[in-house]
């Protein structure tokens, strides 16, 4: 195929057929965002990102594949794919002529690529759409490339990567183009059912029938910064609503903020991120194929083991425990993620409304075992606490968590949840978006998941907001955490008619780990350093790791049916006559405190 | 070092196998670390591969062979690739001392001058480079933008016409000619260029922008009847209603019911200018950075 050549003297030899823009020919390129002139080789070194303003130039599909794949690993398939003029369509020029023009311009017969390749040795099936071919619009040939790739991925159980850049469905192929949305979506659906990873990389621009089908159906959705992604184009929306759209509308950042993307990654990080996902899923696949080996993948630990003896931990007044659980220096989910797990890859968004920072979710390894981790996250500084809403999730947070729970089930990954919340957020928006529904659905979903779930209460276990992440096989509590149907302050106000009676309420509620162990609400207490987890977070994390590993070691060997049945029985006994333990009265010392 | 090492490295470089070229050259340099030919190939390949030490290797070549144009050009290229624009300009000045007509050096110095805020010097260098180049040179392409920014639309148009002649199937080049011709009121030329843009753009939805340009031209030269015909045509391909306002104005004017015509004309011209800006934005966004497809 012909390529543009720029001679060393700067004289230019440009085959016209592949020069869609005059800027294409220049040794100095002008950034469309900041208008700086940038030396071409500098731009190329920078992966096509403007070094002055970080604008991500659009890439030709082949250039992107060069950046992402191992050298010479691409094996192209589907050379026979070519658009078909199924309607004998003509507008100001016949469709066949437009196709021929696009083929001359791009050197591609179909405007799409599919095949196989590797990223740092990790195999994948890939497909992509070339935006330079009639605006990347999806007709029969592009839809076929995506579908064939998905089918190959399914047959070989190899992860699929699809790179999208498209204006939408191709009008010139009429309803046959529209049907590509269904064809590709059902192919992706089969992948999802079979638990084969699908990563969708959305590049600038991805619109219409492509964004509303396979491009948005990835297990992981990744976009480059400032990529424009949407269903209707902005000019259509402006014409319809007769309003100017806000700055940044339909950019990757906008979508991320609204929960539609897992990750917005600068181009320099894309390869590393994709490699990480492939590696982790390769491990998960190995585990699925040999579950007995899952236990062997768990790490050796050197923390203090958990105890199921309520007398074995230091006796503290419940109100003191509440204060320790709320201590500002107490380690939170992200701290544990950094010490207990390896290679945490956070995934964002509920794909419905937002990305609630009060819950963090993602993939990680515990030793060599891939797991999904979901946890409440409080802040430490004032601004962090505001950003994290003091660890009080919105419905969007629970829906994000549920999305990751389904992800875990799809790929057979155990789930670890870390609970530390004063409660679900009591707000107008939260009610409007169905806080109760979200919590209820999360509890029910957890109760039926066919993968092991271990929950650790690390700080506050505030009522339904905590339980929404805690309907699990094993409930562990750090020694100085609490778990309660209501906050002591709330109970004091409502039942004792005196907010100052919170210490008394704390004692009455039996919210400490030893009491909850006696009630069989939880299974084991994770010891903390003497002054509390905040006094030695590394030691606390070591104990957490030991407790999680011990629990998972028992659970990963269980058959999924047995796992779900045991979980059912675990919750079934609460309140059942003759099965539910009853505690003796609170002793005088605690009550007087 | 095998006797074949330099030629093997050179052959690999010329075949575009930069990694192989660099490895071959580096292997040779282990035995003869000061061999300028091997340093040159290692450095040039390193520039293509983004190696951190490429510029230093090429600087050594320039120190060893200061009378060779190629040495300084290579060094300038390497430094520019690292974003060391000032040092690159120094190297390219050495090229010009040895070879005053060197187009690459003039082009590089033109852009370096622009980056450092000296627009007049930039234009001067680039004009010299463009004179020495054939067709749509880098210098000529950049001159279109620079003239435009300096308020010299006639000069910008002249440069744009040369680019469009050299790249007759390039829609963006045709759009430059159309836009600038409209600006300097060369209406026939503008009309032809908008028609050309319409032919060349393979995205059917972009057709409306070219038609808006043509309407704009006809209105500017007072042929409202033709403008109305074009507006009706535009309305037929415009599924988002961008032409509605223009069409309403022209139809009202045709029927003699144009109300406050001056105000309305201003609004319609504003809408057409906005459409032109959108058309330009679409083409600017389309500018890829790479050499081209294959």
Instruction: Tell me how crowded residue A539 is: count the other CB atoms within 10 A of its CB.
Output: 16
Reduced to 3 states (helix: H, G, I; strand: E, B; else coil), residue A350 is coil
CA distances to A16, A508, B238, B274 from B264, in Å: 42, 77, 21, 15
Tally of structural domains, chain B: 1
Q: Tell me if chain A has a CB within 8 Å of the CB of B50.
A: yes
Task: Look at residue B97 and tell me if it is in a domain.
Answer: no
A437, two tokens: 């529904």
Express each pLDDT in A319-356 by its tens digit.
999 999 999 999 999 999 999 999 999 999 999 999 99
Distance CA A448, CA A303 (A): 31
Residue A318: what pLDDT? 96
Residue in A48, A92, A167 nearest the CB of B289: A48
Task: Look at residue B211 and tell me if it is in a domain.
Answer: yes
Task: Look at residue B191 and tell me if it is in a domain.
Answer: no
* Mean pLDDT of the residues in chain A: 92
Distance CA A435, CA A389 (A): 15
Express each pLDDT in A519-535 by its tens digit.
999 999 999 999 999 99
Strand partners, A150: none
Q: Where is A481: in which H helix or E strand? A: none
Residue B82: what pLDDT? 95
A124: distance to nearest CA of chain B, Å? Answer: 23
Mean of pLDDT values over B254-283: 82
Mean of pLDDT values over B183-204: 91
> Among all residues of chain A, which has the CA nearest to that of B208?
A92
Strand partners, A454: A416, A474
Cβ within 8 Å, pair A22-B163:
yes
pLDDT band at A243 (very low <50, low <70, confident <90, very high): confident
Task: Look at residue B222 and tell me if it is in a domain.
Answer: yes
ipTM here: 0.85
- In chain A, the percentage of residues whose pLDDT exceeds 70 is 94
pLDDT beyond 50 at B271: yes
pLDDT beyond 80 at B252: yes
Cβ within 8 Å, pair A19-B102:
no
**What's A388's DSSP letter?**
T
CA distances to A128, B24, B45 from B39, in Å: 40, 11, 10
Residue in A14, A22, A41 nearest the CB of B80: A41
Distance CA A440, CA A399 (A): 11
**What's A586's DSSP letter?**
P
Mean of pLDDT values over A76-102: 93
A109: distance to nearest CA of chain B, Å? Answer: 11
- Cis peptide bond upstream of A140, omega within 30: no
A331, two tokens: 């380690």
Instruction: Tell me how crowded residue A394 is: count the other CB atoms within 10 A of its CB.
Output: 24
pLDDT band at A218 (very low <50, low <70, confident <90, very high): very high
Residue B256 exposed, middle or buried by CB count within 10 Å (0-12, 13-18, 19+): exposed
Distance CA B187, CA B205 (A): 24
B220, two tokens: 């500017």
Strand partners, A201: A163, A222
A576, two tokens: 């059942």
Domain of residue B222: give its range. Answer: 203-282
Residue A291: what pLDDT? 61
pLDDT band at A241 (very low <50, low <70, confident <90, very high): confident
Task: Look at residue B210 and tell me if it is in a domain.
Answer: yes
pLDDT beyond 90 at A27: no
- Among A73, A148, A78, CA closest to A116: A73
Residue A381: what pLDDT? 93
> Among all residues of chain B, which has the CA nearest to that of A17?
B169
Residue B79 exposed, middle or buried by CB count within 10 Å (0-12, 13-18, 19+): buried
From chain A, pick out residues whose CB is under 8 angstroms from the CB of B134: 11
Task: Look at residue B274 and tell me if it is in a domain.
Answer: yes
- Among A156, A273, A195, CA closest to A451: A195
Distance CA A374, CA A343 (A): 15
**In terms of DSSP bridges, do strands A453-462 and A415-421 run parallel, antiparallel, or are they unpaired?**
parallel
- Among A521, A439, A436, A509, CA closest to A474: A521
CA distances to A552, B5, B74 from B32, in Å: 60, 11, 21
Express each pLDDT in A473-491 by its tens digit.
999 999 999 999 999 999 9
A-B contacts (CB, under 8 Å): 194
pTM of this structure:
0.89
CB within 8 A of A590, min separation 6: which ones? A317, A318, A507
Residues B189-204, buried b or exposed e (16+ Cβ, 10 A)? Answer: bbbbbbbbbbbbbbbb
Residue in A8, A10, A45 nearest the CB of B133: A10
pLDDT band at A386 (very low <50, low <70, confident <90, very high): very high
Residue found under tokens 């480079």 = B129
Residue B286: what pLDDT? 60
* The three-state (H, E, C) secondary structure of chain B, written as one string: CCCCHHHHHHHHHHCCCHHHHHHHHHHHHHHCCCCHHHHHHHHHHHHHHCCCCHHHHHHHHHHHCCCCHHHHHHHHHHHHHCCCHHHHHHHHHHHHHHCCCCHHHHHHHHHHHHHCCCHHHHHHHHHHHHHHCCCCCHHHHHHHHHHHHCCCHHHHHHHHHHHHHHCCCCHHHHHHHHHHHHHCCCHHHHHHHHHHHHHHCCCHHHHHHHHHHHHHHHHHCCCHHHHHHHHHHHHHHCCCCCCHHHHHHHHHHHCCCCCCHHHHHHHHHHHHHHHHHHHHHHHHHCCCCCCCCC
Cβ within 8 Å, pair B288-A12:
no
Distance CA A558, CA A553 (A): 10
Distance CA A478, CA B126 (A): 71
pLDDT beyond 70 at A158: yes
pLDDT beyond 90 at A393: yes
B122: distance to nearest CA of chain A, Å? Answer: 12
Test the B interface: residue of A7, A16, A37 with most B CBs within 10 Å: A37
Residue B283: what pLDDT? 78
Reduced to 3 states (helix: H, G, I; strand: E, B; else coil), residue A80 is coil
pLDDT beyond 80 at A13: no
Residue B291: what pLDDT? 37
From chain A, pick out residues whose CB is under 8 angstroms from the CB of B73: 8
Task: Look at residue B159 and tell me if it is in a domain.
Answer: no
C-beta of residue B88 within 8 angstroms of C-beta of residue B109: no
Cβ within 8 Å, pair A30-B80:
no
* The three-state (H, E, C) secondary structure of A163-214, written as one string: EEEECCECHHHHHHHHHHHHHHHHHHHHHHHHCCCEEEEEEEEEEHHHHCCH
> Among all residues of chain B, which has the CA nearest to that of A12?
B137
pLDDT band at B290 (very low <50, low <70, confident <90, very high): very low
Mean of pLDDT values over B168-195: 94
Distance CA B189, CA B53 (A): 51
Test the B interface: residue of A8, A39, A102, A227 with most B CBs within 10 Å: A39
Q: Where is average pLDDT lowest: A11-25, A293-307, A369-383, B116-130?
A: A11-25
* The three-state (H, E, C) secondary structure of A90-135, written as one string: ECCCEHHHHHHHHHHHHCCCCCEEEEEEEECCEEEEEEEECCCCHH
C-beta of residue A370 within 8 angstroms of C-beta of residue A297: no
Distance CA A402, CA A356 (A): 13
pLDDT beyond 80 at A592: no
Residue in B111, B135, B286 nearest the CB of A28: B111
A47: distance to nearest CA of chain B, Å? Answer: 9
Region of A202 (left: φ > 0; alpha: ψ -120 to 50; beta: rest) is beta
Residue A2: what pLDDT? 30
Cβ within 8 Å, pair A1-B294:
yes
A388: distance to nearest CA of chain B, Å? Answer: 36
From chain A, pick out residues whose CB is under 8 angstroms from the CB of B107: 10, 27-28
B172: distance to nearest CA of chain A, Å? Answer: 6
Cβ within 8 Å, pair A167-B203:
yes
Distance CA A166, CA A58 (A): 12
pLDDT beyond 70 at A558: yes
**Phi, psi at residue A502, to the nearest 5°?**
-55, -40
CB within 8 A of A437, min separation 6: which ones? A395
Distance CA A531, CA A526 (A): 14
Strand partners, A525: A307, A477
Residue in A15, A43, A91 nearest the CB of B204: A91
pLDDT beyond 80 at B218: yes
* Mean pLDDT of the residues in chain B: 89
pLDDT band at B281 (very low <50, low <70, confident <90, very high): confident
Residue A26: what pLDDT? 61
Residue A587: what pLDDT? 66
Cβ within 8 Å, pair A1-B293:
yes
Mean of pLDDT values over B113-142: 88
Express each pLDDT in A500-516 by its tens digit.
999 999 999 999 999 99
Mean of pLDDT values over A12-35: 53
Instruction: Tell me how crowded residue A583 is: count the other CB atoms within 10 A of its CB.
Output: 10
Q: Where is average pLDDT lowest: A116-125, A509-518, B271-280?
A: B271-280
Residue B262: what pLDDT? 64
Task: Look at residue B267 and tell me if it is in a domain.
Answer: yes
Cβ within 8 Å, pair A12-B136:
yes
From chain B, pick out residues whose CB is under 8 angstroms from the CB of A130: 293
pLDDT band at A14 (very low <50, low <70, confident <90, very high): very low
Residue A552: what pLDDT? 97
**What's A307's DSSP letter?**
B
Q: Which carries the bigger pLDDT value, residue A218 or residue B251?
A: A218
Mean of pLDDT values over B279-291: 63
CA angle B54, B59, B65 (to 5 degrees): 130
- Among A63, A65, A66, A38, CA closest to A52: A38
Distance CA A418, CA A436 (A): 20
Residue A1: what pLDDT? 30
C-beta of residue B60 within 8 angstroms of C-beta of residue B40: no
Q: Which domains does chain A have, with CATH numbers?
A: 1-56 (no CATH), 58-280 (3.90.226.10), 299-576 (3.90.226.10)
């Amino acid at each position: 195929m012909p390529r543009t050549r720029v001679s060393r003297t700067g004289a230019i030899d440009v085959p016209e057929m592949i020069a869609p823009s005059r800027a294409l020919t220049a040794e100095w390129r002008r950034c469309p965002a900041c208008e700086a002139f940038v030396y071409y080789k500098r731009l190329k070194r920078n992966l096509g990102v403007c070094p002055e303003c970080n604008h991500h130039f659009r890439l030709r599909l082949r250039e992107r594949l060069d950046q992402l794949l191992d050298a010479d690993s691409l094996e192209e398939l589907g050379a026979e794919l070519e658009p078909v003029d199924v309607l004998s369509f003509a507008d100001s020029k016949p469709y066949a002529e437009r196709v021929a023009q696009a083929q001359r311009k791009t050197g591609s017969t179909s405007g799409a690529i599919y095949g196989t390749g590797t990223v740092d040795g990790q195999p994948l099936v890939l497909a992509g759409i070339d935006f330079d071919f009639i605006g990347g619009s999806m007709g029969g040939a592009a839809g076929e490339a995506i579908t064939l790739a998905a089918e190959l991925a399914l047959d070989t159980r190899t992860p699929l990567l699809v790179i999208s850049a498209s204006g939408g469905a191709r009008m010139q192929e009429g309803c046959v183009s529209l049907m590509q949305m269904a064809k590709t979506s059902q192919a992706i659906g089969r992948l999802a059912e079979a638990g084969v990873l699908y990563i969708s990389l959305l590049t600038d621009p991805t619109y219409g029938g492509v964004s509303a089908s396979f491009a948005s159906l990835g297990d992981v959705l990744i976009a480059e910064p400032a990529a424009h992604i949407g269903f209707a184009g902005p000019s259509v929306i402006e014409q319809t609503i007769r309003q100017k759209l806000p700055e940044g509308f339909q950019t990757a950042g906008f979508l991320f903020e609204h929960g539609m993307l897992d990750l917005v990654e600068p181009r320099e990080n894309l390869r590393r991120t994709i490699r990480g996902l492939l590696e982790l899923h390769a491990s998960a696949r190995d585990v699925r194929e040999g579950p007995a080996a899952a236990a062997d993948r768990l790490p050796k630990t050197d923390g203090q083991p958990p105890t199921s003896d309520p007398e074995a931990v230091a006796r503290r007044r419940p109100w003191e425990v509440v204060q320790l659980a709320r201590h500002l220096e107490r380690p939170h989910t992200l701290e544990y993620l950094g010490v207990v797990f390896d290679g945490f890859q956070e995934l964002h968004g509920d794909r419905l409304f937002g990305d609630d920072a009060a819950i963090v979710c993602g993939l990680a390894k515990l030793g060599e075992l891939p797991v999904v981790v979901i946890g409440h996250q409080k802040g430490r500084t004032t601004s962090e606490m505001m950003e994290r809403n003091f660890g009080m999730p919105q419905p969007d947070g629970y829906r994000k968590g549920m999305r990751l729970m389904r992800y875990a089930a799809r790929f057979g990954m155990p789930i670890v949840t870390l609970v530390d919340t004063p409660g679900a957020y009591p707000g107008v928006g939260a009610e409007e978006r169905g806080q109760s529904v979200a919590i209820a659905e999360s509890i029910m979903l957890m109760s039926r998941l066919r993968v092991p779930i271990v929950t650790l209460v690390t700080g506050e276990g505030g009522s339904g907001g905590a339980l929404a992440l805690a309907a699990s096989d094993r409930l562990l509590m750090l020694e100085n955490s609490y778990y309660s149907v209501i906050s002591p302050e709330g109970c004091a106000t409502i039942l004792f008619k005196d907010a100052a009676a919170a210490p008394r309420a704390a004692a009455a509620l039996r919210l400490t780990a030893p009491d909850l162990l006696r009630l069989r609400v939880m299974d084991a207490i994770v010891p903390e350093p003497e002054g509390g987890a905040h006094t030695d977070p590394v030691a606390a994390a070591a104990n957490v790791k030991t407790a999680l590993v011990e629990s998972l070691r028992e659970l990963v060997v269980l058959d999924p049916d047995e796992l779900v049945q045991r979980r059912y029985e675990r919750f079934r006994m609460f309140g059942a006559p003759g099965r539910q333990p009853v505690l003796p009265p609170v002793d005088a010392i605690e009550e007087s405190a | 070092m095998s006797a074949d090492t330099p030629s093997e490295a050179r052959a690999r470089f010329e075949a575009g196998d930069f990694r192989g070229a660099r490895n071959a050259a580096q292997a040779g340099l282990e035995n003869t670390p000061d061999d300028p030919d091997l340093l040159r190939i290692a450095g040039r390949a390193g520039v293509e591969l983004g190696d951190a030490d490429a510029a230093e290797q090429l600087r050594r070549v320039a120190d060893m062979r200061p009378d060779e144009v190629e040495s300084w050009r290579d060094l300038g290229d390497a430094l520019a690739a690292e974003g060391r624009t000032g040092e690159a300009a120094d190297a390219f000045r050495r090229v010009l001392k040895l070879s005053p007509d060197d187009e690459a050096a003039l082009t590089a110095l033109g852009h370096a001058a622009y980056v450092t805020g000296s627009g007049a010097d930039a234009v001067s260098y680039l004009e010299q480079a463009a004179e020495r180049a054939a067709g749509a040179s880098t210098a000529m392409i950049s001159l279109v933008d620079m003239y435009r920014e300096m308020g010299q639309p006639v000069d910008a148009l002249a440069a744009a016409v040369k680019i469009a002649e050299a790249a007759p199937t390039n829609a963006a080049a045709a759009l430059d000619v159309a836009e600038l011709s409209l600006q300097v009121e060369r209406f026939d030329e503008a009309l032809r260029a908008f028609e050309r843009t319409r032919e060349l753009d393979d995205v059917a939805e972009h057709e409306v922008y070219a038609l808006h340009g043509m309407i704009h031209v006809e209105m500017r030269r007072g042929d409202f009847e033709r403008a109305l015909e074009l507006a009706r045509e535009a309305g037929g391909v415009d599924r988002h209603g961008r032409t509605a306002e223009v069409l309403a104005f022209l139809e009202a004017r045709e029927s003699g019911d144009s109300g406050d015509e001056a105000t309305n004309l201003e609004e319609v011209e504003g809408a057409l200018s906005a459409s032109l800006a959108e058309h330009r934005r679409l083409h600017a966004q389309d500018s890829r950075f790479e050499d081209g497809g294959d």
